Structure 1
Amino acid sequence: MNIKNYLVLLVTMLTGGLAFQACNTDSDPVYMPTAYVNFVNAYAGADALGIMLDNNNINTATGGQPLEYGKYIGYLPAYPGSRLLSAGIPGTNTTVVDSTITLEDSTFYTSFFYGHQDTVSSILVADKTPEDYDQSNAYVRFFHLSENTPEVNVNLINSGTPTEVFSNRAIDDQASAEANADFTAVDEGSYTIQVTDTDGTELALRDEVIALNAGKYYTILTRGIIDTTQTPLVVGVFQHQ
C-alpha cells in the first residue's frame, strides 16, 4: 500500500521488539521486512484493552496505558509472518481475544476489536490504495461494529444535504470486513455523518463536523450498543496517518 508512500528502512528500535534495526559492517542501514498495523478498540464491554502482539505489549505506543474504548493507535511497524494477537481486560486475567493473524511485508493493516461481554470479535483488514486513486478526492470506508443493531445506511451530510455512501450494511465479521475494506472516493469537504436503518430512521449522528481532505483516507465505524445509555450506538471516524 502507498497510503503514506513511505517504506521501509527502520533505524530505531521500538520498545518490546515490534521493529528493529540491522546494520552492515559499514554502518549502512539494511532493509528489514516490515508490516504496519493500526489498532482500534471498539469493544464496548470494558473501559480499555491491553493488547499484545506475540509477547509484545503494543500499548507502549500509548505510554504504557491500555487502549481506551473508542480510541485507536496509528500504524506501528511489526514483523511479517504469523503472529499471535490477543487482548485482555486490564487488572484481570480475562482475555477477550486470542487469535493468529498473518502479516505480509510492505503491507498496511487495521486491527479492530469490537462487541460486548461474551460476544467479542476481532477483524484484520489490509489498507490498500485504490487502483483509480485520484488525489483530488478524499477516500472513506465503513465497518459496522455495533451490537444488536440492524443493517444500516451511512450518509455524509454537507450543508444540510445528505449523500448516501454505504447501504444495507450488516454487522461485520472477518469475511464481510475483507469484502468492504476498499476505500470509496468522495468529494473533499466538511461533513457530519449519519447512520440510519434501511428505512431511513436515524440511529446515530456524529454532529461534530469532520473535514475529509483530498488525498487522505478515513475509516468510519459504528460501535456501542443500540438503545443503551452507558455505551450507546455512536459513529466513530479516524484518519489513516
Structure 2
Amino acid sequence: MSTGNQGVVGAMRVDLRRLHETWMELVYPRQRGAQDTVLGTWTPDSQLGMLLYRVWSALGMPIIAFIYPLVLVGTILRFQTRRIGGTATRLGLIGVVVLSLVVWGGLAALARFELDLVAGGFTAIAIAGGVATLSAALAVGFRSIGGRGTTVLFAFPLAVTAIFLPPVVAALFSTTVAQYVIPGSDALASWILLDLLGSNSIAQFLEAEFELEGPAYIIMWLGFSFPAGWLLGLLVTLADVVRPTE
C-alpha cells in the first residue's frame, strides 16, 4: 500500500511540475521539460528580471491549484473516451452506422411487433434511432479527419448529441417516453435559467422569447450537448497536455 501511495504522490508531483512549467513558458522561454536538458531551465540574469520571474511563478500557484482537479477529471474522462474512440476506430464509419441501425432497428421492430407500445412508440424509436445514427456517424467522421481542434469542436459535441438527443426526440412522439424525459428537461432548463445564468439579460431574453414545448426541447438539448461536448474535449485535452501518453 505504501508503494502505491508513493506512486500516486510521485505522479501528482510530476503533473504539478508540468503544469507549473507550462505556466512559466507562457512568458519565459525554455521552461517545460528543460530541467534535465543540456541547456537547463532558462532564468533571468538580472535582479529585476529574477524578481518578475518569481512573481510570475507565485501567481501561477493558485491557478494551478484550481486547474489540477480538472486535470484529474480529464484523465478519467480520457480513459473512457479512448475506449469508445478505439471501438469506433476498429468498426470504422460504415461499421458504426451499421451497428447503430441494427440496434435501433431491433428496438423499433420490438416496439412494433412485440411490445405493442402506445401509439407512436414505433415512430418515436425509429426517429430517435435516425438521430443517434446520424450524430454518431458525424462524430466518427470528424474524428477520422484528425486534428485536436476538429475533434474538440465537432466530434465530442456530436458524440454527446448521439447520447442525449435521441430520448428527447422520442419523447416528442411517445407519451410513455415523454413522462420520463420531459420533467427532467424542464428541471434542467430551470437550473440553467435560475441557477447557472441567474437574472442576467440572457436568461430574461430566453424566458421571454421562448416557450419550452415541442421542438424547443430539441433546440435546448442541442444547446446543452455542444457546450458539454466542448467541455469534455477541453478536459481531455488538458489531461493530454499535463499527462501525455504514448
Q: After TM superposition, is the score higher than 0.5? A: no
Instruction: Indicate the TM-score class for this superposition, using the shorter chain for normalisation.
Output: under 0.3
- Structure with bigger strand share is 1
Larger relative contact order (Cα-Cα within 8 Å, sequence gap ≥ 6): 2
Q: TM-score, normalised by structure 1?
A: 0.22
